Chains A and B, each alone.
Chain A
Amino acid sequence: MNACAEGQGWKRSGNMQILRQTNMEALEKARTLGPDGVLELLEKKGLEGRGGAAFSTARKWRASRDAPADERFVVCNADEGEPGTFKDKFIIRHNAETVVEGLLIAAYVVGAKRCFIYLCGEYDYLRPRLQQQADDMLARTKMEDVTIEIVRGAGAYVCGEATALLQSIQGFRGTPMQKPPHPTSCGLWGKPTVINNVETLTCAAQAVLFDDWNPALRLFSLSGNIKNPGVYEFPLGVKMSTVIDVAQPKKKLKAMSFGCFGGIMPVDENMAITPEAICVEKCHHGAYSIIFMDETVNVVDISYSIAKFYTYESCGKCTPCREGTIRILNLLKKILNGKGVKKDLQVLAELALHIQETALCGLGQTCGNHVLTSLQHFPADYDHYLKKGAKS
């Protein structure tokens, strides 16, 4: 087991791969390899994006580098807003230099001069130190014409979505844009732009430098009704029972959710956590953040909390998400108040599926998952509230 924690009751042990420092050596090596060499190396090592979509990093960089333009940009997406996810914060706090180095390698490979770090508004307290570290790193490199700007998000969850993030950096309303065109060809100010997650950039630097870099290791953010919430490193394919052992549930577990958008699922101890296994239809693994719920929890309450989150965080651009999320919330509120009827469940499912099918961006397309999965796996919890209403 390669578990390591940042959290209550656990001491941070030094052997987490993500904490290995590259000390400017990765950038040096990248320069010797040349841009093509770096791309080949990353392709060989199989580095994939860690933000949730698992897109090949080398392909993304190459697409941006090969798009015709006179200027290019590189953006580090540090707008970590998913409830139950806190791994990027962990990396920035403990290994920011490597993040910056990954960013500089990306800039070197695609030929960008301006780099941005889009920092989650809630992490603003990390900004002064991060800025200092970025400035120090820049001073140590010989890339004098490269700049790193830290842009503070204003707290909108949707700005973690790549196109909305770019809108926000440019000073516009943070709303997602229809793709294509993809940011790799038409991003900031219409120029090719690479956007990578904090973890991805860290891994890029490490993958370039370390021969023994293991592409299978992922950061897990564990939280919920457990004794040991925190950030852990597990290899893909790890058994759920192993994760649960580390997490130490307080009572018998009933359900779990991968982030908010992963849907509320029953706990399967024998499940091996791989993208394929947990990315069952309409259920997303996202960034491997698991919220555990024990038997004291009624899933409808959780669903209501998640609905509240989406009703607050939807950007409002497209109809199904803007109008659908509030209707889902209102229906759940009605059910919780004991006023729900069987037909409300049908409408809930219809709305959730509809948003999933017709919304513009990833937020909308996943914001109904919690309803669909909880209806499917925990009908008894809904019945509990429906019956309660029928009695009174």
Chain B
Amino acid sequence: MKNELLHGTLEVMILKTLSWGRMHGYGIGRWIMEQGGEALRIEEGSLYPALYRLEHKGLIDAEWGLSEKNRKAKYYRLTAKGRRVLASNVTTWTDFATAVGRVLASANAPARA
């Protein structure tokens, strides 16, 4: 899939990922690709600008900690504002997807003008 399409939705997906709990950048990328499969394969590097943008907007928080292998890692978590934004985005997306699906699955032909 083209990266341009993913750009906006990447941020939403990050938010969703973090809704499960705090995670470092590598883990977020791995989870998204596990869930979405090959269709959602992205350049791993593009994850980080998205994370920093989200932090700037105040939707996520960052904190340094130690990973499972005792390495220094930056952990992210969702803020209250981020949670609200995620919820509203999910609603928008599902509504949108439902509407598109209805159009594509429709059996009614358009009325001839």
A-B interaction: no
Chain B residues close to A by CB (< 8 Å): none
Name A's B-contacting residues (CB within 8 A). Answer: none
